[in-house]
Amino acid sequence: MLFIHSQRFQWHNDDPYYDGVPMLRRFQTDYLREQGYVNLRCSWVLGCPSEIKPHTDTHRENVHAGEYFKTGFMQLFPEAEVPQEVGVSCCAQFGVTRWNVQQRPRSDYIRFRKWLAETDLPDELSGRIMEYSWHMIFGKPPVHCPTAEECYCKVFGLCGLSCPNQWSCDDRYVLPPYSNLPEGWPYIGWHGQKQDPSHGLPQA
> What domain range is 11 assigned to?
2-156
pTM: 0.92
- 82, part of any domain: yes
- 168, part of any domain: no
pLDDT, position 22 = 95
- 170, part of any domain: no
- 189, part of any domain: no
pLDDT (tens place) for every residue of the chain, 204 residues total: 999 999 999 999 999 999 999 999 999 999 999 999 999 999 999 999 999 999 998 877 665 788 899 999 999 999 999 999 999 999 999 999 999 999 999 999 999 999 999 999 999 999 999 999 999 999 999 999 999 999 999 999 999 999 999 999 988 999 998 989 999 999 999 999 999 998 888 876
pLDDT, position 203 = 75
Please enumerate in sequence order all residues whose Cβ is within 8 A of that of 24, keeping only pairs 6 or more positions apart, or say none. Answer: 2, 4
- 35, part of any domain: yes
The amino acid occupying position 127 is G
Distance separating alpha carbons of residues 2 and 27, to the nearest angstrom:
10
Identify which of 130, 28, 46 has the alpha carbon closest to the alpha carbon of residue 89. 46
pLDDT, position 26 = 97
pLDDT, position 62 = 66
Distance of CA 22 to the CA centre of its chain: 17
The count of domains in the chain is 1
DSSP letter string, 139-203: T--SEE---HHHHHHHHH---S---SBTTB-TTT----SSSSPPTTTTTB-TTS-B--TTSSPPP
- 203, part of any domain: no
What b/e readout covers 28-43, taking b as 16+ CB neighbours within 10 angstroms?
Answer: beebbeebbbbbbbbb
- 166, part of any domain: no
Identify whether the C-beta of residue 138 lies closer than 8 Å to the C-beta of residue 101: yes
**How far from each other are the two terminal CA atoms of the chain, in whole angstroms?**
34
- 193, part of any domain: no
DSSP H helices, 59-122, are 66-76, 98-101, 106-118
